[in-house]
Amino acid sequence: MTEKKTNNSTKEFHKLSIQVSLNGLSFCIVDTISDTIISSEIITFEEERTPYGLQKGLVALFEKHQITKKKFSEVIVVHRNKLFSLVPKSLFDENEMANYLKFNTKILANDHIDYDELESYDMVNVYVPFTNVNNYIYELFGEFVFKHSGTVMVESLLSTQNNTKTPICFVHVTQKQMEVTVISQKKLMLYNSFDFNSKEDFIYYLLFAFEQLELDTETTRLKLFGDIEEGDTIYNICYTYVKQVSILVPSTSSYPMDLGKESIDFTVLNTL
C-alpha cells in the first residue's frame, strides 16, 4: 500500500472519508461537483472492540450503505486512538519512531508505526494505525490516504485560531473519549486524548491539563464540541470549575451540511 497517494483514474467525483476507532466509526461521502454531502453516519459501539471487531463493524457499515459498489475519486481514512506522539520536526528521526511511542503508550513488537507531517507547524505525529483496516480498504479501493485523528484535529484548530493571543482549551467529546487541544499565540501547547467513564473522570483530566499548563480557570476560554451540548452533565461540571465555557460550532467544511452537524464527525469533515 502506498500512503499519501490517491487513485484518480476513475471518472467518479465522489470523495469518501472514514473515521475508525475501537469505540465506533463514521463516514461521509461528498459529491465534489455539486459540493454536497450525499451520505453519512456515525456508529458508536456498545463496548470497546478489538481491531478485528472494528473491521467487522466497518464491513457491516459498508454493506448497509453499499459503499463497496461505489467508485470514488479519493478515499481518506482517519485513525482515532491513543497510540500517538507529537514530535518536533527538528527532532524527528524516522528510524526512531518506536522510541517516541514507547514512553507514552504500550506498543507491540509487530505493530506497524507510521507518521503524519504537519508541514505548516513543524511537527510530526507518530502513531500506530489499524493495519487490518488499512489492508481492507486497500483491497476494496486501491491507493488511498490515511491520517491520525490528532493530525486532523490540530491542523484544523490551529488554522482557525490566527488571532488567538490568550490560551483557548478545546475539548472534542465522543462517547468515553475526550481530545484536549490547547492553543495560545498561534502555537500548540497541548494535544492529548483520554478515556473517561464519568463526568468526574472528565473534569479530573481537564483540570489536570489546566494545572500542568498553568492555565487560569477564571480567564482561560473552554470550548466544548462533538457529542455534547449546553446543559449536559459534563457541560455543567465544567462550568462549575471553569468560568468561560461555551459550545463550539466549528467551521468544518465548505460543504453544506444538509444532513445536520450531529450526523457528521468533526475529523471526517475536515479531511474533505
Residue 99 lies in a domain: yes
Query: Are 52 and 82 members of one domain?
Result: yes
One domain, residues 130 and 200: no
Residues 147 and 87 in one domain: yes
On whether both 228 and 257 belong to a single domain, the answer is: no
Please name the residue ranges forming H helices in the chain. 51-65, 97-102, 131-141, 149-159, 199-213, 233-241, 266-269
130 and 264 share one domain: yes
6 falls within a domain:
no
String of DSSP letters for 70-111: ---SEEEEEE--S-EEEEEGGG--GGGHHHHHHTTS---TT-
- Determine the pLDDT at residue 254: 53
Asked whether residue 108 is assigned to any structural domain, the reply reads yes
Position 251 confidence tier, pLDDT thresholds 50, 70, 90: low
Record the pTM. Answer: 0.88
Model confidence pLDDT, tens digit, residues 49-63: 999 999 999 999 999
Total domain count, the chain: 2
What is the residue range of 167's domain?
161-247
66: domain CATH number is 3.30.420.250
**How much is the pLDDT for 34?**
85
What are the tens digits of pLDDT across the range 127-151?
Answer: 999 999 999 999 999 999 999 999 9
Query: β-strands 145-148, 74-79: how paired?
Result: parallel
Same domain for 257 and 240, yes or no, is no
